[in-house]
């Protein structure tokens, strides 16, 4: 018998939800995580995301597995300063975990504490930060077998490459020189014990050797700034990177410019490019102003801060991590063009 209860005894199977959430929830449980009846799952959610968590719990009940659900507001005051110990202890006995939560300012530390457990125990973990109804009806309904096919083709190419160049009509022109010591990861939505993944999925990424150039962020910026500023087509943020460090950031939206600059100067490595990635979710048609989905939109995105060294092999660290996304890229891997105007020129 399943007992999905939090400290406040809020049972997810008693929470009503829109049936339109079901296809995305089923995709998460059956295709992306491939949950088995004999496994145990930890669900972590919050007040803002309860209906989505309830739809996922319904699918877990259909599988017949055991699961334990936790509502963050029942465990600690938010924003969280540390990941709650009771939830951490529960994860120690799970094979699968699902984190469906709306991000709050300065909670990245607690999420890193959670993923440290995931990495150590090799839990199949679905990271669904800022998941909402629209994403459940769009990105979470993708055919992840197709996304995995194109992701596999892209990662096979970039693992052999020395350099990637990316340009857009909006003014982006960056070059990433690659470090052969750093691994490329494929997070296509098919989640394995070797690498947890965001859902919706669809990207390949590494820690670059060195990035140089200009990036016009006319998509979105990540972490809590995404909810604050949303989609940036009308007021893009233009940044410049030299020797892998952020050197300039300019926008007509001065508050965006200031918040981004402060975020990327939190610690000594917050302004370093820690991630260079190619979005591969070919079923996404445009940026929607939600980083969880938008970083999977076909094109290039980079992130400043934490390089996920446990996976890429990078030996440096940062307490922050913020993605930046543009639109309609042309991409060259060494001398071969693989994308024009946001459309892949290669097949999976």
Rounded Cα distance, 337 and 222, in Å? 27
| Rounded Cα distance, 105 and 101, in Å | 13
CA torsion, ordered 69, 319, 212, 221, to nearest 10 deg:
50
- pLDDT tens, residue by residue, 240-253: 999 999 999 999 99
Confidence (pLDDT) at 105: 85
Q: Which residue has the tokens 């090799």?
A: 122
Task: Give yes or no for a contact between 175 and 253, defined as CB atoms under 8 angstroms apart.
Answer: no
Give me the pLDDT at residue 7, please: 44
Predicted confidence pLDDT, tens digits, the chain (348 residues) = 344 433 445 789 999 999 999 999 999 999 999 999 999 999 999 999 999 999 999 999 999 999 999 999 999 999 999 999 999 999 999 999 999 999 888 898 999 999 999 999 999 999 999 999 999 999 999 999 999 999 999 999 999 999 999 999 999 999 999 999 999 999 999 999 988 999 999 999 999 999 999 999 999 999 999 989 999 999 999 999 999 999 999 999 999 999 999 999 999 999 999 999 999 999 999 999 999 899 999 999 999 999 999 899 999 999 999 999 999 999 999 999 999 999 999 986
* Cα distance between residue 125 and residue 140, in whole Å: 15
Determine the pLDDT at residue 3.
41
Which pair of tokens denotes residue 45?
């959610």
Closest CA to 210 of 273, 132, 284: 273
Q: How do residues 281-317 score in pLDDT, each as one tens digit? A: 999 999 999 998 999 999 999 999 999 998 999 999 9
Residue 347, pLDDT score: 82
- Select from 111, 131, 216, 232 the least CA-distant residue to 172: 216
Rounded Cα distance between 171 and 217, Å, is 10
Query: What is the Cβ-side half-sphere exposure of residue 247, based on CA atoms within 13 angstroms?
Result: 9
Helices (H), 221-290: 223-229, 254-263
Rounded CA separation 104/160 (Å): 39
Tell me the whole-structure pTM to 2 decimals. 0.84
């Amino acid at each position: 018998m399943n007992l999905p209860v939090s400290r406040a005894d809020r049972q997810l199977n008693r929470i009503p939800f829109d049936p339109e959430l079901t296809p995305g929830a089923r995709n998460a449980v059956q295709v992306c995580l491939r949950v088995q009846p004999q496994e145990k799952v930890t669900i972590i959610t919050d007040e803002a995301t309860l209906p989505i968590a309830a739809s996922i719990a319904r699918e877990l009940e259909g599988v017949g597995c055991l699961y334990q659900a936790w509502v963050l507001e029942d465990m600690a005051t938010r924003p969280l300063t540390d990941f709650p110990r009771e939830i951490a202890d529960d994860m120690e006995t799970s094979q699968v975990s699902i984190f469906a939560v709306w991000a709050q300012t300065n909670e990245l530390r607690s999420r890193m504490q959670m993923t440290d457990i995931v990495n150590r125990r090799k839990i199949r973990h679905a990271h669904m930060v800022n998941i909402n109804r629209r994403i459940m009806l769009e990105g979470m309904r993708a055919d992840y077998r197709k996304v995995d096919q194109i992701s596999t083709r892209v990662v096979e190419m970039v693992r052999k490459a020395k350099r990637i160049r990316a340009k857009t009509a909006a003014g982006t022109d960056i070059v990433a020189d690659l470090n052969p010591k750093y691994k490329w990861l494929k997070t296509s939505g098919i989640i394995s014990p070797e690498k947890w993944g965001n859902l919706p999925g669809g990207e390949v990424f590494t820690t670059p050797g060195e990035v140089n150039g200009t990036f016009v962020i006319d998509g979105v910026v990540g972490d809590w700034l995404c909810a604050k500023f949303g989609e940036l087509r009308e007021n893009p943020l233009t940044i410049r990177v030299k020797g892998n460090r952020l050197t300039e950031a300019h926008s007509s939206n001065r508050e965006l410019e200031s918040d981004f600059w402060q975020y990327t100067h939190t610690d000594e490595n917050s302004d370093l490019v820690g991630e260079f990635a190619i979005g591969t979710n070919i079923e996404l048609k445009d940026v929607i102003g939600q980083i969880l989905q938008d970083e999977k939109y076909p094109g290039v995105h980079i992130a400043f801060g934490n390089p996920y060294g446990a996976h890429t092999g990078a030996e440096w660290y940062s307490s922050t991590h913020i993605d930046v996304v543009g639109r309609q890229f042309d991409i060259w891997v060494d001398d071969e063009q693989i994308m024009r105007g946001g459309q892949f020129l290669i097949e999976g």
